[in-house]
Amino acid sequence: MATIITARFNWWLFAVLVVLSAAPALGLVVEARRPDREESDPAPGRSSLRPGAGLPPPVGTRVFTGRAECLHQLIGPEAARATAGPLILAITGLGGTGKTELAARATRELTARYPDGQFWLELRTYAAAESRMRTAQALRLLLNALGVSPDPQMTGALALSRVWRSATAGKKLLVVLDDVDHADQVRPLLPAGQTCAALVTSRHALTGLDPDIAVALDVFSQDEARTLANRILERTGHPDPSTATVIAASYRLPLAVRQVADLKAANPGVRLSDLLARDDRAISEATASVGLSVRSLPAEARLVLRRTANYPGSLISPEIAAVVADKPLRTAQALLADLYHHGLLLPDRRVGYRMHDLVRAAAQGAATARETGRERAACDDRLFRYAHAVASEATRALYCADDVAMPARNDVQNLRVAPPHFPSTGAALAWLDDQHSDLLAIARRSVAQRSPCTWRLIYQLEYYQRLRGFYDEIVDLHSQALRLTEETGDLLGQAGMHQNLGLVSMRTGNYPAARTRFQRALDLYAATGNPTGQAEIHHELHHIDCWLGDLASARVHAEAEFQFAQAGGTLIDLAAAHVDRGLVDRLEGQHDGAHRHLSTSLHLYEQAGQPRGIATAHRHLGLLAADVGEHVEAHTHLDQAMARYLELGDILNQADTHIGLAILQRHVGDLDAASHHASRALDLSGSVSHWRGQAEAHHELATLAQTRGRHDAAARHRQEASAIYERLGIPTHHG
């Protein structure tokens, strides 16, 4: 799948230039936040990162030959022997020798041996800086794919690696690390124990890794090259043994053989010598080689190749190609297919393609020579605006509401490609799981290019990253975007960045830092006259005050939130304000006022069609009914809330609802049921690092143990709860 360029073969030149490859498709998404602006984070719903689902390998090539012995080394009996630690398999070889393809084949063959999951990571060592996968990011991806949520304050690679090794102990899983440059990239990502394995690909031997089985790929023999070329020509419907023999006489690098064979198959009426003809100039740069290799392509296809080569992500979807090339979607689809048929792209497991790093580098050289800085900037601008638009659609899918970072209507209408529609929360979350690495690369490119769209895109990414625990990325991106907005004087952007940095501080239990950020955001939203932003900040400050027991201040913020929601908010903003007023009334014992506000919020959420908000209103109404002894009504509300949270996959709010049900069952004397709900709340809170939920679950378990006369257990749970409350700065328990 490479495009060879010279009739007389030069191995080193070819290695620097061509190749084909493989890479998936992108469709950007990002989740934003705040349906009802409830204090908690919805948990991952039904996404592609289910425990055991792993991270699947790429599709690979249609024709695989010449590597049977190497494959047998990787999957044969010798590869199953016990070792002191995880089995380490290594594939090395020059670019274009087929390392990724062999790794993908081996991964599929090893599925039965590693039933707990296969986890494929593209480290993208030779990609642009913004596209490379960092170690902490890789560990978060692995942990999320395994269904493990470590402490959100844990951002260092060393600490995350310890969690990863602990989580993989006793499991049978395979981790594939594609495109590694040095052993230090590998060590933190190795799973634990003798029942796991790691398969690593690299362009050179990795000093210090000491693999159990090492496979070094070389160029093909003439017979192997002829077999591969012949099978490709047969597979594409143009059998031509004589041409296969000619190809094999000059080309032995597997990627070269593939690309020349594909080039011939795409041009059945043209002689191979004419396809490869060139002038007598010495070819010394990747730019020149790619120009020759795509000689038979239409001009539009060359443009798409150049533009997608500069795309910072790895997944090339028709939508992305249309956006960066500024072409209609149907045209982009046809041109991508043309590039695929010429051996320049391979399909991935998702809808779209990927591109080998050598092809990308060579095509980027061609783009530098042929395109002006203004053209490249315009291409980036379209990409950033499309990413922002898709992120905003994901926000609507999740919360049925807009926020301060939504794109202007004209920005969306002026895009060549309409943002996709997400039919459900689960669909949006699954896409985000698949696309996060590429979205992160786009956001980093946006920062580097100082795009005015930067803070809006980063703002929308924050909720998903917080949900999945990518706190280091949140802080890094938002800090950079904040500096950019300060330099440009963008007050609204500064407010959004302070707000999201405050949310990270609040989620990780640093309430003083959160309050400082929120106060700064509130001042900036006030300066811009943005009522929605002011309402959201008062909402967050209200919750901090409730947790810290300052109900007088919490009421001030709830009333201010209500005023701003009335002044310029949506039905959902108004509903959230009623919830917060009702919560303060309930905590102060004003039951009639609490019932009035919470009933109004339920009605408004139903009007707006906001499922999570409806569930939140039911949960608070259930807690209120339990407070006044209306146990049947309390059970009805809490059951309705739980059913909706289960449907939404909202683990964090499920945990809080279990706590409410535990208190209710204790009140009616069913201690077994109460213990079940409290234990379930503790498990769920732990799975999403919901520290306040864990503390409240321990508090309830202590109360239940004391009631049963189990004083040692009660003391243990009280100690656990106190330690968490102290860590969060909460002086006492507030139900």
Q: What is the pLDDT of residue 472?
A: 84
Please check whether residue 217 is in contact with residue 67, taking contact to mean a CB–CB distance below 8 angstroms: yes
pLDDT, tens digit, 9 for 90 and up, residues 662-690: 999 999 999 999 999 999 999 888 876 77
Q: What is the pLDDT of residue 30?
A: 28
Rounded CA separation 62/79 (Å): 26
Residues of the chain below pLDDT 70: 1-53, 79-83, 150-155, 275-296, 399-401, 688, 731-735
CA 72 to centroid of chain Cα atoms: 34
Q: What is the pLDDT of residue 151?
A: 65
Q: What is the pLDDT of residue 147?
A: 81
Please check whether residue 392 is in contact with residue 407, taking contact to mean a CB–CB distance below 8 angstroms: yes
Rounded CA separation 465/437 (Å): 11
Q: Which of 367, 256, 379, 353 is nearest to 302 (CA)?
A: 367
Rounded CA separation 171/192 (Å): 8
Q: Is 613 helix (H, G, I), strand (E, B) or coil?
A: helix
Strands 346-347 and 353-354: antiparallel
Please check whether residue 164 is in contact with residue 141, taking contact to mean a CB–CB distance below 8 angstroms: no
Q: Which of 565, 564, 566, 561 is nearest to 580 (CA)?
A: 561
Q: Which long-range contacts (CB under 8 A, 24 or more apart) does 526-530 make?
A: 527/491, 528/491, 528/492, 528/495, 530/404, 530/492, 530/495, 530/568
Q: Which of 208, 194, 191, 174 is nearest to 74 (CA)?
A: 174
Q: Which of 433, 458, 476, 593 is nearest to 155 (CA)?
A: 476
Q: Residue 97 is encoded by which pair of tokens?
A: 């020798």
Q: What is the pLDDT of residue 534?
A: 95
> Dihedral of the CA atoms 140, 206, 114, 156 (nearest 10)?
-20
Q: What is the pLDDT of residue 271?
A: 79
